[in-house]
Chain A
């Protein structure tokens, strides 16, 4: 089956040994001479005007480095898609965690103490704290109408089709914010002078940080250097926020004449101030024929984007494109809007909008099945996409995947048919613990949307060294997901070399080309392909030079480098030939390919405590080829755990635009006892444009658990929950209010 030497094999994690011995150095582990510790003075009101800043008298302020907006040498902006977010508030406050002033001191305790001795006077203005308040434009807090972005997708005649439906439904689904809770909080070290800026830290996207520093300082690109160090988890939470933190640390260092400054958030600050998953509200109106055929979907999708644009337009885009789920739907309307509120900006989080819209459609399908008197599996059998069908944006489904077979495999593994029949009888007893079984079917587009991969124009390179080794040069970061190991396997495969010959260089903008951000399930699928192609090019170079005849790759590289002084090959992104996308009409191939999955859940609901316990979890997915089965399964298991948390327990409690429960003791992520053994199964159908046939899989497992769980709760209790997290409180209201 496997013709590869390295691909498809569970090569051990390359940096594993350092992580297991405690030798791996994360940002807060570096010992740096002359280091200053930075801290941030923030707004405490969601919206207002700064009228004064007061420093407590008698406190030795001359010991401190103090930075306000006036100290910014270039532009007061954290540059991303658009430039609406200031690095430090200058007169106006738009959310309660907005940074106003920065302080630094050699003693970390002292700088925390000083932060409490600054008083910021603010004249409050009426805030917008919910999607509804934002829609009412009362008041307008961003642009002309509080709308960051609107997306329309239309296909067929949704109004006409809806009128002909046998069953017409109208239901609204809500999802809450979610905090990433990477175990390493955000941390950055900066050294900045007019001669150059060096930033090191925990991050997903070194070139995003590079761009932000370049814009804020208005320094030439080559004077800015950004290096990622070992990163303790990201999940999207270290996609755009490190740009802000890097700007803050660099400003303090700049003001301090170039002394190194570290800002390492503690957990409370990290939870309160950094990005979270966008809360959403999705209204679905649908029409089905008598036999369950889906005739039309009309989806109104709203995302709460927080105070500034950041990534909301692209999160919205992915949400909108995934809104009709894995279904053949001839008549479709999606109206999607991302709205401004006076909370910290919401940002990237594994799944990037797709979990929100897929939750809505997957819950809706189970509700429709119940109304139609069909089993949820029957309803899906009638409507699941097949190869050759037309998807939401007019994309022809090219992936040769049998979704019905995929679904049936998951249902067999969970023993769905048997439980579907037997649980209602069991549940009729007096036992307050009720059982349910449910599932979801879904997909996740790999890589950036539409033409964005082409615009990114990513490059990766390989370099031979004089001692006969190979360095992989890419900006893609290792944050636990396995990029180091997968790149090693792919490069070794291309060169027909042992894996020990390959070294993946830690991303540093002064050393590596821009292979794009480490996001969007693109690292293996897109950048891995660049590494593969650069490897094939290197092999060809060696062969063309008359080397490699004995198969000794290290020897050939040594000889080549000795003769020519250097050996370097590059590969640049080229879109698959078939891909066409029109960003103005939102028509075409939204993604080069999708990963597909069916997740099935067996659970217990305790009607005394209203706790829901997942007893068994089956995750079946088609991901092209799993390049490293152990790492791939680890990604799925971890994503499922986060998805279960989003569905059941992880509740961000908002108070005046702030996260009130910003501690690990109040915001609960799953422990080992809260989770079942997550059972992972791969279907492998190699994708022609991915390295070794691989497709992206990192975000996929976030999409399915929440709707599968709520579908199982519908089965257990015969109710229709429409909101996550479905905490015991939410469930109690639903059951007792019904």
Chain B
């Protein structure tokens, strides 16, 4: 018995997309498998690590916890949207400060950090740490990630 799929229409990184998805599909799998946007990572599958952070209609979400059908008609941004020809200021700051090590949490960190900057949610180091608390990193101890975020906010290298 096959379960009928649902037509999902949404805007992904500025491009209108439509695709048939399984009614139980996770947004994470649709992003990775159907759209081929493998920058969004799966670290835990239970919303703990934040490696699958994406921005859905202006909200920061863990794509592993969002049913794909919930993204119907919405606007989705993934890590692949952050750089144009040049890296974004936050990406540049990550490079300069050493905010990426193994690189696996990095896409989620960048998406979360971008969201924090765009919503002007960070005023100081404590706020940066609070804002990034949904994204786990095992390599850096967070110092250089926090530094990159604060430097970008203040418009300095």
Give A24's nearest chain B residue, CB to CB: B103
A664 with B103: CB separation less than 8 A? no
Give B94's nearest chain A residue, CB to CB: A20
Contact indicator per residue, chain A 3-22, by CB within 8 Å of chain B (1) or not (0):
00000001011011111111
With beta carbons under 8 angstroms apart, the residue of A25, A184, A675 that contacts B102 is A184
Q: How far is the CB of B77 from chain A (nearest CB, A)?
A: 12
With beta carbons under 8 angstroms apart, the residue of B44, B48, B143 that contacts A678 is B143
B140 with A664: CB separation less than 8 A? no
Residues of A within 8 A of B139 (CB): 233, 480, 634, 638
A26 within 8 A of B: yes
Residues of A within 8 A of B145 (CB): 672
Residues of B within 8 A of A29 (CB): 32, 38
Give B87's nearest chain A residue, CB to CB: A20
Q: What does DSSP make chain B's interface, helix, strand, loop or mixed? A: loop
A637 with B133: CB separation less than 8 A? no
Q: How far is the CB of B22 from chain A (nearest CB, A)?
A: 9
Residues of B within 8 A of A665 (CB): 46, 48
A673 with B138: CB separation less than 8 A? no
A231 within 8 A of B: yes
Give B143's nearest chain A residue, CB to CB: A637
Knowing A673-B129, A673-B130 touch, does A232 contact B44 (C-beta < 8 A)?
no
A481 within 8 A of B: yes
With beta carbons under 8 angstroms apart, the residue of A12, A480, A664, A673 that contacts B96 is A12
Expressed in whole angstroms, the Cα–Cα distance for A230 and B87 within the complex equals: 21
Give A644's nearest chain B residue, CB to CB: B141
Q: How far is the CB of B81 from chain A (nearest CB, A)?
A: 9
Knowing A183-B43, A267-B44, A672-B132 touch, does A20 contact B100 (C-beta < 8 A)?
yes
Residues of A within 8 A of B96 (CB): 12
A402 within 8 A of B: no
With beta carbons under 8 angstroms apart, the residue of B36, B78, B103, B140 that contacts A634 is B140
Compute the total of residue contacts between A and B using a CB distance below 8 Å: 170
A616 within 8 A of B: no
A23 within 8 A of B: yes
Contact indicator per residue, chain B 92-111, by CB within 8 Å of chain A (1) or not (0):
00111110111111110010
Give B102's nearest chain A residue, CB to CB: A480
With beta carbons under 8 angstroms apart, the residue of A15, A23, A480, A672 that contacts B142 is A672
B87 with A184: CB separation less than 8 A? no
A671 within 8 A of B: yes
Expressed in whole angstroms, the Cα–Cα distance for A10 and B97 within the complex equals: 9
Residues of B within 8 A of A658 (CB): none
Expressed in whole angstroms, the Cα–Cα distance for A665 and B132 within the complex equals: 17
Contact indicator per residue, chain A 641-674, by CB within 8 Å of chain B (1) or not (0):
1100000000000000000000111000111110
B101 with A23: CB separation less than 8 A? no
Q: How far is the CB of B91 from chain A (nearest CB, A)?
A: 4
Q: How far is the CB of A735 from chain B (nearest CB, A)?
A: 28
With beta carbons under 8 angstroms apart, the residue of B32, B100, B129 that contacts A16 is B100
A664 with B36: CB separation less than 8 A? no
A233 with B138: CB separation less than 8 A? yes
B101 with A480: CB separation less than 8 A? yes
A19 with B103: CB separation less than 8 A? yes
B76 within 8 A of A: no
Residues of B within 8 A of A678 (CB): 141, 143
With beta carbons under 8 angstroms apart, the residue of A20, A479, A633, A641 that contacts B106 is A20
Give A231's nearest chain B residue, CB to CB: B102
Expressed in whole angstroms, the Cα–Cα distance for A482 and B100 within the complex equals: 10
B130 with A28: CB separation less than 8 A? no
Expressed in whole angstroms, the Cα–Cα distance for A219 and B40 within the complex equals: 38
Residues of B within 8 A of A142 (CB): none
Expressed in whole angstroms, the Cα–Cα distance for A28 and B42 within the complex equals: 9
B125 within 8 A of A: yes
B39 within 8 A of A: yes
B98 with A630: CB separation less than 8 A? yes
- Chosen A-B contacts, 17 in total, with CB atoms closer than 8 Å, are A19-B106, A21-B87, A31-B36, A181-B138, A183-B49, A231-B102, A232-B102, A232-B103, A480-B102, A637-B140, A637-B142, A637-B144, A642-B138, A663-B48, A670-B141, A671-B129, A672-B146
Closest 4 pairs between A and B when the two form their complex, measured CB to CB: A22-B39, A480-B102, A232-B104, A19-B103
> B residues engaging A (CB < 8 A)?
32, 36-46, 48-49, 51, 78-80, 82-83, 87, 91, 94-98, 100-107, 110, 125, 128-130, 132-146
Given contacts A26-B38, A637-B143, A677-B125, 10 further A-B contacts (CB under 8 A): A21-B87, A22-B40, A634-B101, A634-B139, A638-B101, A640-B141, A641-B142, A663-B48, A669-B138, A672-B135
> A residues engaging B (CB < 8 A)?
10, 12-13, 15-26, 28-29, 31, 180-185, 230-235, 266-267, 479-482, 630-631, 633-634, 637-642, 663-665, 669-673, 675, 677-678
